[in-house]
Structure 1
């Protein structure tokens, strides 16, 4: 019983003891076993004297070695479990970041696609309600119907894309710079009642621009025109698109100030500038929006974005 208790104590000391003790005990018991075997053989000078060393090893060295093996296995299992938990935590963090990024992208697309149409609807419906004129009301209802139909079509395309999960064989085409002229014409029709005129200065359509750059430039112009419809004073809204060295520069200027007899305006949410800044930041470009000097000392609101276009980013022409 004493021997069994001693071996159990040695085993428990290695398995549950301090790390330093667990490392020392197998070495110490091994040295003690060798020393007893050599001492007994030298003292008795008989082969059976080695049995004393064997008994000593069974009582001390074997339990210590067994405890060391069990402790190492437990530590390896704990380390593997910890790595698995860390891997699962990192995977969950990556999933959450992907969900947040996708929600931000969806919010930008939804805002840029629908905000312009809804702003035009709000402006012209306010004009139709505030002015008692049949021709004005008829024109306003025509603009309202056109924008509502286009907004509904874009919403359906976005809902279809989200519902399909992007698995459709033919993805929806992304807007390009070729659609800026139509976008400016639509803004001119929507802003005529507010005394706004729109101009577009852009180089001929250039092939090979990356799709993300064209999409970002289109959305920046679209949101800038929407903001002009909401907040700009009477005057000219100028859209300028220039191709610089390894960059595409987009500038939209609109008259700034409050008119004495302000026309109907739509409220803003403040998400437009945030979305434009995020789009430019994703491409590593520069973005600025704020007051700038204008002709005859009149202040203007300027939105400027510089979208980098590296040589190796160009898409090959068909």
Structure 2
């Protein structure tokens, strides 16, 4: 299988071309790093320095695409350059190869190369000085440090800064994603809360209006029609007032008007009286005490309100029982109504009421159940709504 060579970066091609042209210019002017007669110049032919120059320029093309291979090949070219007159551009391009190997190479290479070049720098200073015992021998270590350790250290510093910047950018993106997720969740929760409030506020009145208007249209009795129209008017006015209050709360952002107080269990009496006025036979047993958490009172009130609305729409004729009992840090709500076919006008349900009640109980980490069950007193069937609301969760909310 053919090996696909990495594609060089455009800037690296420009840098290699500029380095090659600059090296050729210095060679053409006869400028070398060492004199031709120096003992270390083993290859004195004029064209020989061009070979390491061309090889290093070729490595410069791959400084970003294959940094380790470019550095190894460039090191071999630099060693060959030391036994010729040399070319300053070859050394400069090699320092760039060392820098690129640390900056663009694998993390393991980026950690090892500065240590290796640091040891070579120390060895380049200590070993010649130990052999020759002259201060000038220390300059060999300085030259090795300038050519290898300095660019490697610079590449490591730049790489560390880039990684820190990438990590900070990633954290910022994650923070933005989490913030957006929190915003979406908050909007969803607020929309669900508004939907529950709107349903609980208006459904009872609209159900009564629908049932009584159907009765008024079905019965040819002026007295019955008049009573039905009276109930319709009362529920229309009450529903309109509730809608205006809710819309006012949603629109009011100036702070010049405080929000209306949330319903409490003290209002259950009025709620039951309204259900009786709509035709339900309702009895209330409340043993809840005082000082309950506001979220628990609101949830219990809405559960009773929705249960009475469902009884008005769907229950068969018969008594409706509402019972609240508080004990063991739990408020228990139970509403029963006759289950079976209803004689008279019916109102179709969407199921949103049960969903809203279940959501309210879940927010307080309570338990909720609704469904038919046998009556303990006779052979009839009751539709029972049960809810257990922990008072501790209400305090936390």
Please tell me the TM-score bracket, short chain as reference. over 0.9
Q: CA deviation at 1:92?
A: 0.6
Q: Which moved more, 1:170-179 or 1:97-106?
A: 170-179
Q: How does 1:215-294 map to 2 (within 5 A)?
A: 215-259=298-342, 262-294=343-375
Q: CA deviation at 1:132?
A: 1.3
What is the aligned counterpart of 1:140 among 228, 250, 259? Answer: 228
Larger Rg: 2
Structure 2 match to 1:154: 242
Structure 2 match to 1:7: 95
Q: CA deviation at 1:18?
A: 1.1
Q: How does 1:159-170 map to 2 (within 5 A)?
A: 159-165=247-253, 167-168=255-256, 170=258
Over aligned residue pairs, what C-alpha RMSD do you find?
A: 1.7
Q: Which runs of 4+ in 1 moved over 6 A?
A: none
Q: Which has the higher contact order (CA 8 A, sep 6+)?
A: 1
Q: How does 1:106-185 map to 2 (within 5 A)?
A: 106-165=194-253, 167-168=255-256, 170-185=258-273
Change (3 A) 1:98 1:11: same
Decide whether the 8 Å contact of 1:22 with 1:68 is kept in 2: yes
Q: 2: distance between equivalents of 1:245 and 1:4? A: 83
Q: CA deviation at 1:126?
A: 0.7
Q: Which moved more, 1:225-234 or 1:277-286?
A: 277-286
> Which 5+ residue runs of structure 1 have no aligned equivalent?
none
Structure 1 match to 2:286: 202
Q: 1: distance between equivalents of 2:393 and 2:296? A: 13
Answering whether residue 298 of structure 2 is matched by residue 298 of structure 1, we say no
Q: 1: distance between equivalents of 2:352 and 2:283? A: 25
Q: 1: distance between equivalents of 2:300 and 2:276? A: 19
Q: CA deviation at 1:44?
A: 2.0
With normalisation by structure 2, the TM-score equals 0.75
Alignment length (residue pairs): 307
Decide whether the 8 Å contact of 2:373 with 2:381 is kept in 1: yes
Q: CA deviation at 1:313?
A: 4.2
